[in-house]
Amino acid sequence: MINAVALVLMKDKKLLLLKRSKNRLPIITMKNEETEEECINRWKQQNFESENLPSVKYNKKVAIEDYNISLIFMDATNLDIKIIDENLVFEDCMWANNLNRFENELFRYIITQCEIENYKSPAIVSLRESVNMKSKYKVKSQLIDFEKTKMENNKAIILIILSLLIGILFSRFIFGYLGVSVPILTLLMIVIFIFSVDIKTNSILGYFFLVISVILSCSYGIFTNELFRAMNILIIPITLFSGFLLLTYNNIPFKLLNFGAAFLEIIMGQSIENTSKLPLVVKEVSKKNDVKENKNMKSIIIGLVISVPLLIFTGILLAGADEVFNYYLKNIWNFLNIENIYDFILKFLIAIIIMFLVFGLYYTLNSTKIKKVGNGKINKSFNSTTIITILVSLIALYLTFTKIQVSYLYLNKELPIGFDFAHYARSGFFQLVTLVVVNISIITAMNFKTAVNSIKSKNILNVLYSLITVLTINMGASAIYKMNLYIKEFGYTRLRILVQVFTVFLCICLITLLIFIWKNKYLFKPIVIAGLVIYVGLNYFNIDNYIAKQNLETISTKYEIDDGYLSTLSLDAQNAVKEGYEKGIIESQYYFRWFNKKVTTKNWYEYNYFNNKIIR
């Protein structure tokens, strides 16, 4: 057996832990003929500085695997303690992450021993509350097991400089019109990724995500559609960072639970946590400089501090002595007004925040190794007989609905008295789309959660799932047919086109669902690929120009089409709108309301093709 000492060191409510994803409590292996106290003192000298700390030793040894562990509690409440090792951190014991069952058991032993020895402290009270809370609320095991390493200092310093460049560019671009600045930032982020992290896997899906992010970012330099510009602010970072993940790690399955957990933990959680590494890297590198250089820097800083008030005082005197000098000084002061100072401070803060976030992202991808990704298995709690009963009921209802749809909608059977075919054919679109979404959710949930005990039950369920899927595809087709009739009567709008495209996407999902039912293949990957391809197509299709063109062609014959709606379209529709105005189809008030959407730009990075084209 290996002798070791587990140290539970607390300062008020905070617990000393190791910066890693598991086995976070310091456990120190003892050397030959070394006592527990000597072992702790040796480790203490290497890792932190403090006064003599009150301690309590558990009166028994704890055996776990090949270790014979002694347990010591040390209380640093109201005492100064300085951590030397950057791999150690104080965390609130109530919310400390990734503590395992064994570590929590050691805390109980400490609490018991302190009660025996009548040792009272705010630290023990906090530890007791923490143990009680964690025994009441069971914390699920982490889906991803990762290991933290350290980035090379030279590379980290270059990364800081590049992150600062991104921060400066972002703070500059964000206050202007978003044009070619977006693809510039996107491409720069990819270049920094290649430098600081490198492409470690040949994931085709990873490259696909990067290409999608670049294509979407380029749309800012071409189109002005406000809806897509707003949506892309969210979609571009998601696709970009997803590509980074897949090109860095080859052991993350592209499944909703696994990939979603990895994205949240690595891109969101660890990246934000690692922003704190930036000042530590700077501090560590600065320590390696010569003492003479440090003294020179200190002298320079002192000189600057003294110079500022001296320059202000002498400047005032010189301004009074020479009117021309006073004139130039006033011009400088007018430029440095309060508004400009506030603007500078705001941009400076944004640049610093972005620098820290970008550094944290790339530092995480470089230094975090994913060791294991859990399966994320779903508990199958649905009874198969109950599910079969529900499915048969739904199929009976859907078959009745489908028979009526085929008879009256497709075959034009005479409707009951009081029904108008035009109204009947055009109504019910949104209800059908909602049903398609609900059915996809029901089938997917049932397939995942239903416990199947025999091959016969599985086959029956698969047949029923398939029947509902086919009937749902008919609902999708019916919804598209109804919307086409509605558009012919009332014209095109963004909402009508987008919902129609969404319905087509849902039908693609339903076809994929059939494969999922019989082949037990995961839907997530093909659905994401299909969704992104369709979304990119919509971005570049120029739907606003299509809407304007189609509506103008039928505006003379269809009174219901609102020509005022055309003024709400983006500048992407300028070819059709200008033609309509020149032909006298669009009234001047609507045309100039549309024309005034043009944004006046001052900088080259605000260039947008359709926004600039409207000048001509």
Residue 585 shares a structural domain with residue 568: yes
**Lowest-confidence range among 177-181, 216-220, 250-254, 517-521?**
517-521
Cα 440 from Cα 54, distance rounded (Å): 62
Residue 332 shares a structural domain with residue 185: yes
Residue 47 shares a structural domain with residue 178: no
pLDDT digits over 253-281, tens only? 888 888 888 898 889 888 888 888 888 88
Decide if pLDDT at 509 tops 70.
yes
Residue 452 shares a structural domain with residue 584: no
Token pair belonging to 360: 């944290």
How many Cα atoms occupy the beta-carbon half-sphere of 242 within 13 Å? 29
**Lowest-confidence range among 129-133, 477-481, 505-509?**
129-133
Residue 196 shares a structural domain with residue 106: no
pLDDT digits over 313-358, tens only? 787 778 778 888 788 777 766 655 545 677 878 888 999 999 999 9
Give the pLDDT mean for 579-587.
83
Residue 101 shares a structural domain with residue 240: no
Residue 505 shares a structural domain with residue 592: no
Decide if pLDDT at 535 tops 90.
yes
According to the model, what pLDDT value does residue 523 have?
81
Q: What is the DSSP string of 37-104?
A: HHHHHHHHHHHEEESPPPEEE-SS-EEETTEEEEEEEEE-TTS-EEE--TTEEEEETTT-SS--HHHH
Cα 90 from Cα 291, distance rounded (Å): 31
According to the model, what pLDDT value does residue 478 have?
87
Closest CA to 196 of 225, 158, 231: 158
According to the model, what pLDDT value does residue 420 have?
65
Residue 185, classed as helix, strand or coil, is: helix
Q: Are the beta carbons of 443 and 462 closer than 8 angstroms?
A: no
Give the pLDDT mean for 544-549.
92
User: Bigger pLDDT: 23 or 298?
Assistant: 23
Cα 240 from Cα 215, distance rounded (Å): 11
According to the model, what pLDDT value does residue 156 have?
87
Identify the domain containing residue 124 by its residue range.
2-139
User: Bigger pLDDT: 403 or 247?
Assistant: 247
Give the angle 499-502-507 at the CA atoms, nearest 5°. Answer: 130
Backbone angles phi, psi at 4, to 5 degrees: -150, 165
Of the ranges 58-67, 296-305, 571-580, which is most confident? 571-580
According to the model, what pLDDT value does residue 314 have?
83
As a whole-number percent, the residues of the chain with pLDDT over 70 amount to 89
Distance of CA 112 to the CA centre of its chain: 43
**Which residue among 374, 406, 438 closes a domain?**
374
Of the ranges 150-154, 375-379, 517-521, 540-544, which is most confident? 540-544
As a whole-number percent, the residues of the chain with pLDDT over 90 amount to 27
User: Bigger pLDDT: 10 or 375?
Assistant: 10
According to the model, what pLDDT value does residue 336 have?
53
Residue 30 shares a structural domain with residue 171: no
Decide if pLDDT at 139 tops 80.
no
Q: Are the beta carbons of 130 and 247 closer than 8 angstroms?
A: no
How does residue 141 score in pLDDT terms, banded at 50, 70 and 90?
very low
Give the pLDDT mean for 157-186.
92
Cα 248 from Cα 198, distance rounded (Å): 8
According to the model, what pLDDT value does residue 22 have?
73
Residue found under tokens 């239903």: 450
According to the model, what pLDDT value does residue 215 have?
97
Residue 243 shares a structural domain with residue 370: yes
pLDDT digits over 430-454, tens only? 888 888 888 888 888 888 888 887 8
**Lowest-confidence range among 341-345, 473-477, 508-512?**
341-345
Per DSSP, 597 falls in state: T
pLDDT digits over 547-576, tens only? 999 888 877 666 555 667 888 899 999 998
Q: Are the beta carbons of 94 and 126 closer than 8 angstroms?
A: yes
Decide if pLDDT at 383 tops 50.
yes
User: Bigger pLDDT: 105 or 226?
Assistant: 226
pLDDT digits over 192-231, tens only? 999 999 888 999 999 999 999 999 999 999 999 999 999 9
Decide if pLDDT at 423 tops 80.
no
According to the model, what pLDDT value does residue 616 have?
46
Token pair belonging to 182: 């977006």
Residue 298 shares a structural domain with residue 412: no
Decide if pLDDT at 290 tops 70.
no
Token pair belonging to 210: 């990067």
Residue 568 shares a structural domain with residue 512: no
Backbone angles phi, psi at 194, to 5 degrees: -60, -40
Residue 9 shares a structural domain with residue 146: no
Q: What is the DSSP string of 330-373?
A: HHHHHHT-HHHHHHHHHHHHHHHHHHHHHHHHHHHHHHEEEEEE
According to the model, what pLDDT value does residue 137 have?
38
According to the model, what pLDDT value does residue 607 have?
94
Decide if pLDDT at 180 tops 80.
yes
Report the domain count for the chain: 4
User: Bigger pLDDT: 412 or 278?
Assistant: 278
Q: The domain spanning residue 42 has which CATH number?
A: 3.90.79.10
Give the pLDDT mean for 279-297.
64
**Which residue among 507, 533, 559 closes a domain?**
533
Q: Are the beta carbons of 21 and 147 closer than 8 angstroms?
A: yes
**Which residue among 325, 356, 374 closes a domain?**
374
User: What mean pLDDT is reported for the chain?
Assistant: 84
